[in-house]
Each structure stands twice: as C-alpha cells, then as structure tokens.
Structure 1
Amino acid sequence: MYRLPEIKGIVGAKKKIINEIIVKDLSPRDRYEINKLFANINSIDPASKTIYKANLYILLNSYIENGNLIKAQQILAIEKKKDAYDKKLNEIELKLNKENFRKNYYETRIAIIENGNKKIPEWEWNGNTKNCYKGDLPPYIIQKIEDRINFFRVNAGVPPIYLDSQLNDWCQRAALAMESNNRLMHELPKNWTCYSPEASEAALYSLLTQNINPSIAITSFMDDFKNPSLGNRRWMLYPFSMVWGVGSTKSKCVLWALDDSRIKDTLLYKTSFVAWPYDGYIHKMFLFKKWSFSINQNLSDAKITMMINKSPISFTAEKLIDGYGLPTLVWTPSIDISKLKEGDNINVSIKLKNNKVYTYNVKIFEYSP
C-alpha cells in the first residue's frame, strides 16, 4: 500500500504519486484506496479529474475481470451520480451489466444435462413424502439461488442477502409439508402429514410457488405479474432484509424473504428509490409486465410520466396497496417488448404530492452468452 509523505504541498505530492503509479500493475484493493484518496483532490482541484477518472476506469475494469461485480456496481452507482454523461463510464456500465447477466443470472439456472437420449436436470429432489424425508438442496444449488436473488437486489440498488443454513432447513421442511399435502399455504394445519413446527414457522414468512425449479422461482417472484400489489417483488427488493432461507421439493418452492434484520437507514430511502426496471442498463427480458417504484414517502396522487426515445408511453396504474415493504407505485406500461432493441432508452419521471420529482433512465441491452 502506498503511504503519503507528511510534507507541505500535500495535494501536489498526491498528484505526483498518482501520475507515477497510474500505469503500474496494482491490485484492485490498492486502486480502490488510491481512488478514495484522490477523490478529495478531485473535489477541490478540477485539473486532477482526468487522472482520477483514468484510475477509476482501470479499477472498475479490474473488478469486472476478477468477478467482483457487486463492488463494481456499488462504485459505479456512486460515480454515475457525479457524472451521468461520462461516455467511458457508460461503456463500462454496459460491459458490467452484460457480465453480471452472464455470471449471476444465466449461469445460475438449473441446467438440463443430456445423458444419452435423456435430458435430466442437474438437480432433482432427493426426498420423499412417504417417509416424510425432506431431502435437501446441495450447496452449489443454494449458491446459485443466492446469486440470482442478489442479481436482482443489487441491480435495483439494495444490499445483498445471504441464505442461512437453519432457515434453509426450515424452508425445506415447509416445502416437504406442502408437497405431501399438495397445497401452498402460509398457515399450515397441524393435522397435515409431514407437519412440523419449523415448517409452520417458515411458511408464515415465505414467498411460495409451485411447479417450477427454485432458480426459475426467483425470477417468477420478481415478475409477479398476477399480483396487482407486486407483493412478492416488493419483499424481494426490501432493502432492510438480510437473512433469508430457501427450500424446494419436486413441485413446491419456499423462500423465506420476510426479514427485517438489517440495520435501518430510514433517511436513505426517503430520498433514494428502489425501482424495477431500474436506472441503468437492463436486459430487455427483465422488462416485466408490471413496473414498480418504491420509496419511503407519501405516494398518493403521485404522477408518472414515461417516454421511449422521446415518445410518450401510455400506462395503467394500479391502486396503492400498503403492507409489503416500502410504499410502492405499480403500473403497466403499453410497451411491445419484442420491438425493443439495444440502445433504446425509456425515461421515467415520478412527481410526488410534495412536488419532489424523481427521474431515471432504463437503457435496454440484448445479450446471449
């Protein structure tokens, strides 16, 4: 790690050091520390901006190449607020989002493996209802599910979660009980076969679905097109959750997502919003039927405006429904997704009753790994 000399003219010394090492092969950690150091100069010395940006571009690309995509996303989000029109930063953002899609969405699918003339999924439930054996999800499948959850959360600008081994076990017991009785329920009857107190507890705090594998279930919860309130999506993107669990059987999936254990920064989400689709580059497959905008503000009488490539978009707004995470606007825009192409830009503007206006740009990309 480079240490700065304790001398007069410290700003000039810092700039000299940066100029000398900008071309050197440094670790991402060192470049990150340099960027923090140099950001202070950048704020008081505009002439240093070029050097600051050069190190920033190298830093972001190194995070992408090393697979540290969440860190790259977090830094990029901060830098976009400083300079939303930086062409190079936009190029890096597109590169990051394509790599993020490949690694944390495409590669988190439960693949179909060809075995001779047969095609079988890479994971199949190893439990059974006859003996009330819950079976389990192997660690590599749990990791795929966690990565897919965090793909959606981090893209939306909220912190990642982790899947807890005890909650995973309880969710697996809940999935077993629902498999055995062939029903999805949040309140399990005690006379159910394969009932357990742990299963009952998990069912209360979980999102439930059936007849799809657990990776697809995560995407289904985000889509949530049958739910006018988008309750599942809102819990998926609830910023104050942190500890989750998952369980899955042959046809039932249980995701413990109703968690409130993260330390709350209530002021942050009075000024920062959580939207899906989000501000920035997004694969067009994630332009789900219903759009959402969440913020800890009064959303009654909020006005939504949408434009695509500067042309207005009509939409149908849903009734405001509280009780699922943050207050949320839900609407269905009139967009033909099949006609969208990479480079299309959808501008969204939300004007609240207090006249505060939030705007963001949904930038479309297409990509097949």
Structure 2
Amino acid sequence: MPARNAAMARVNEIRAMVGIPPVVYDATHDNQVQQAALVMAANASLSHTPPKNWWCWTQAAYDGASTSNLHLGMNTDGSLASPAAVVDALAIDMNVESLGHRRWILDPFLTRTSYGFVHGKPKVNVGWPYSYSGVLRVIDNLYANLSGLALDYIAYPVGKFPASLLPNGWYLSFSVLMDKSSPWNNQSVNYSGVSVKVTGPGGSNMPVSSVKYANDGMGIPNHLQWKCPGLKVGTQYTVTIGNVKFKGTSHQFQYTFILQ
C-alpha cells in the first residue's frame, strides 16, 4: 500500500502544479494493474494490447494494460524505481512524441487511479538481468465535476515548476478547457492556425519549434505541444498562444512559468 499511496501522491502533486483537482485511489482495479505490471516485467516489453502468447498473460492483465500508462525499466543490479520516479517519467514522456502519458495524468476529468508494480528477472533474454514495470490506471468512465474549476487551460509547465520535469529541449504542452461538463465537448478546439510565442526577460523571443497539435482522445481531446530549447532555471518566461478557435471564435491565452 505505501507504493500505491506514493504513486497517487505524486500524481496529485503534479496535478496541483498545473491547477487541476486531485484523484483518489481506486483499489477495485488493483488486480488488473498488478497483473499488467507482471506481464510487462516478465516480457521486458510494453503493450497496451499484450498478446496471449506473452508470459503470464491473463485477461485481467490485458484489461489493466489497455486502460493504463505503462512504464518499463531494466538494469543490471535489480535496483528499483520509486513510485514517484515512475510517475515523473510518465509525465515527462521522454521520446514519446504524442505525450500520451502526460496527457492522461493531466486529464482534469480523471477522478481515480490505481497503481501496480512488479520487478524481477524477465522471462525473455533482452540483455538485461532485471526488469521492472509500473502501471498507472488513467482511463476511466467516471468524470469529475469541474463546474467550480476556475481554469480555462492546462499548461505544462506553468507557474513555479520543477526543472526536473522538463528536460532541456523536450516538449512543453497545453490544452484548452472550454467546456467543463464533459471532456468530449472540448474536442472541437481548432489549433490549425495557432501561434505560439515564448518570451524571456525584456521580451526577448525564445526559439519555438516542432509545433504539433491533436484532437484525439488522450486526456482532454485537444492538445498542443512545442519545443523551446535553451530555457534556464530561475528565469521567468511568458507563453502567448494565439488564434485558438472554438465554435468560430478566436481566443488568446497567456501565462508564465519559472523552472526551479
């Protein structure tokens, strides 16, 4: 239970950083996420739809994998990643171009989560003697009531933000929360003509590249991301996002952040 509580606590710390409500722990799905973690660790591989020929496969493992963020690590000494380190890795989402794991963690409509963790020797030869897997359930059909949330967007990073959660050169991200009654009512946000500007001290422009957007169903079904290399710890930056269209109206958003 301490690991599960630690994972949920870290999820809620990150959610609080961006201004969205906390989640509660849901023990009813513990079996699914734990079995999913066993399958990932045993096979030293990740899949949201693990095939039946994988070691330790069960229907519960499949169900857990298909509704969760999955993390895998391998090493030579059997050392373990803490629950917070697993959650941080999912939030950073390094080398995952869609940022899908981050987007699920930052889903303001998410109300509950479950966490499973398994470590040991994999059943397949991958060149590493030890593997471990953390599985965080994030897909659910119980939506939060956000009617009292005074927030129109979810930005990462925003405000005072740990530099460890944004490796230099990796993606910043943003989603609009135009409708707080249902996540799917936010899918029609249009970023096709969007402008993204990041300024530093004195209004100096920072380089912005790799601007991408999506309206699929990972977390809030509208998502914008971009890279801004060269950000410095302790410096305040201003982000201005313009020409975001929703129901025919153009909107602009502006916020600041400091990596620390």
Q: Does the alignment pair 1:224 with 2:118?
A: no
Alignment-derived partner of residue 186 in structure 1: 48
Q: 2:191 pairs with 299, 302, 308, which one?
A: 299
Alignment-derived partner of residue 319 in structure 1: 212
Q: Does the alignment pair 1:277 with 2:157?
A: yes
Give the number of the structure with larger relative contact order, counting CA–CA contacts within 8 Å between residues 6 or more apart. 2
In the alignment, residue 98 of structure 2 is paired with which amino acid?
S
Q: CA 1:180–1:347 in structure 2 vs 1: closer, same or farther (change >3 Å)?
A: same
Structure richer in strand, relative to its length: 2
Largest Rg, 1 or 2: 1
Deviation at 1:281, TM superposition (A): 1.7
Deviation at 1:264, TM superposition (A): 4.7
Alignment-derived partner of residue 142 in structure 2: 261
Alignment-derived partner of residue 251 in structure 2: 356
Q: 1:328 pairs with 223, 238, 243, which one?
A: 223
In the alignment, residue 359 of structure 1 is paired with which amino acid?
Q
Deviation at 1:286, TM superposition (A): 2.9
Alignment-derived partner of residue 128 in structure 2: none
Mapping of residues 151-162 of structure 1, within 5 Å: 151-162=13-24
- More deviation, 235-244/190-199: 190-199
Q: Distance in 2 between matches of 1:231 and 1:238?
A: 11
Deviation at 1:335, TM superposition (A): 1.6
Structure 1: runs of 5 or more not aligned: 1-138
Q: Distance in 2 between matches of 1:220 and 1:263?
A: 25
Deviation at 1:209, TM superposition (A): 1.4
- More deviation, 177-186/237-246: 177-186
In the alignment, residue 357 of structure 1 is paired with which amino acid?
Q
Taking only aligned residues, the RMSD between alpha carbons, in angstroms, comes to 2.1
Deviation at 1:205, TM superposition (A): 0.6
The answer to whether the 8 Å contact 1:229/1:320 transfers is: no
Q: CA 1:192–1:229 in structure 2 vs 1: closer, same or farther (change >3 Å)?
A: closer
TM-score norm. by structure 1 comes to 0.56
Q: Does the alignment pair 1:287 with 2:178?
A: no
* Helix, strand or coil at the partner of 1:252: strand
Alignment-derived partner of residue 241 in structure 1: 110
* Helix, strand or coil at the partner of 1:304: strand
The answer to whether the 8 Å contact 1:240/1:260 transfers is: no
Deviation at 1:196, TM superposition (A): 1.8
* Helix, strand or coil at the partner of 1:210: strand
Q: Distance in 2 between matches of 1:207 and 1:173?
A: 14
* Helix, strand or coil at the partner of 2:114: strand
Q: Deviations over 1:304-349 (max 9, x none)?
A: 1110112111111333223212211100002244xx33xx210011
- More deviation, 209-218/227-236: 209-218
The answer to whether the 8 Å contact 1:242/1:260 transfers is: no
Q: CA 1:237–1:260 in structure 2 vs 1: closer, same or farther (change >3 Å)?
A: farther
Mapping of residues 105-116 of structure 1, within 5 Å: none
Mapping of residues 84-99 of structure 1, within 5 Å: none
Structure 2: runs of 5 or more not aligned: 74-79, 120-131, 177-185
In the alignment, residue 232 of structure 1 is paired with which amino acid?
H
Q: CA 1:301–1:198 in structure 2 vs 1: closer, same or farther (change >3 Å)?
A: same
The answer to whether the 8 Å contact 2:153/2:174 transfers is: yes
What is the total number of aligned residue pairs between the two structures?
221
Q: Distance in 2 between matches of 1:311 and 1:166?
A: 51
Deviation at 1:252, TM superposition (A): 1.4
Q: Distance in 2 between matches of 1:266 and 1:358?
A: 20
Alignment-derived partner of residue 13 in structure 1: none
Q: 1:206 pairs with 57, 68, 81, which one?
A: 68
The answer to whether the 8 Å contact 2:111/2:144 transfers is: no
